[in-house]
Amino acid sequence: MPRAQEIARMTTQELRDSFLIGNIFEPGKLRGQFTDLDRLVIGGAMPTDEALPLPNHKETGRAFFLEQRELGAINVGSAGKIVADGKTFALEKLDCIYLPMGTQKVVFESKSAKNPAKFYFLSCPAHAPHPASMMKSTEASPVALGSQAAANKRTIYKFIHQGGIQSCQLVMGFTALDEGSVWNSFPPHTHWRRTEIYFYFDLGENVLTHLLGEPQATRHLFLHNEEIALSPNWSIHCGCGTGSYKFIWGMAGENQVFDDMDQLKPGDLR
């Protein structure tokens, strides 16, 4: 991951190579990528005819993937299920599951091969086990923010956080923008205590401009449906689309306090 002072000299392609991840879903495949942002792993599983097991990777340095890690997953596709150490969790679209460190066997399945599930997941190091848990989107406590006049009316759904599913350091949920609203997380903020990753989905054919960088030296990326923006702890993270959309936010770091943010004034941005 580039340092803050380096991105001012980066080309568009260099920025995209460093801060954007695409093609996370492929039918019948499980894809993942290690990052150097709090050792977070980003993954996507799209099972079709056959179930997809979560494999280990040499980068974990462990006997199995979740030996010293925890994992959160949200289904952004059709109905499916995750089987963890023999326990089955059925997930409809926008339902969430948390799996603790020590979970040895994880398998992703779709209810229908023609209409597959899409499990977007994040994994980070963990130091203690918490109970495996699932939360349906209807069980998450919604928080309404913004206004139609400011084109940023949106609802935040928190799943894995201090007041919800317990974890070691992973925090995860999603935000849905109302029709006619296009701005997210504006005015922007930073939080040096935590990395944050945005997965944008349900964009359709819309295009989204994701803003990043230091507050006085911002840059941008154009993103399409089901693409991911990486945000180091020194970077802002906000966006504006050509239509409404949803995004999954995920964080890991020194604390799990959702409101622990360093707020920025729009007039101070450059």
Q: Return the pLDDT at 105.
A: 98
Grade residue 191 by pLDDT with cuts at 50, 70 and 90: confident
- Is the pLDDT at 27 greater than 80? The verdict is yes
The pLDDT, as a whole number, for residue 192 is 84
Structural domain boundaries of the chain?
4-20+138-268, 21-127
Q: Is the pLDDT of residue 255 over 80?
A: no
Q: 4-20+138-268 and 21-127: same fold?
A: yes
pLDDT band at 253 (very low <50, low <70, confident <90, very high): confident
- pLDDT for 67 equals 98
Average of pLDDT values for 128-152?
95
CATH class held by domain 4-20+138-268: mainly beta
Q: How confident is the model at residue 193 (pLDDT cuts 50, 70, 90)?
A: confident
Find out whether 74 and 120 touch, Cβ atoms under 8 Å: yes
Query: For domain 21-127, which CATH number applies: 3.90.1200.10, 3.90.1150.10, 3.30.300.180, 2.60.120.10?
Result: 2.60.120.10
* Mean of the per-residue pLDDT values of the chain: 95
Which secondary-structure segment (H or E) carries 16?
helix 12-19
Task: Say what the pLDDT of residue 260 is.
Answer: 79
Mean pLDDT of 42-70: 97
Contacts of residue 215, Cβ cutoff 8 Å, sequence gap at least 6 = 188, 190, 236, 264, 268, 269, 270
pLDDT of residue 8: 85
Is it the case that residue 257 has pLDDT exceeding 80? no
Residue 13 contacts by C-beta under 8 Å, 6 or more apart in sequence? none
CB atoms within 10 A of CB 102: 17
Task: Please state, in angstroms and rounded to a whole number, the distance separating the CA atoms of residues 212 and 189.
Answer: 10
Least confident of 1-5, 16-20, 151-155, 235-239: 1-5
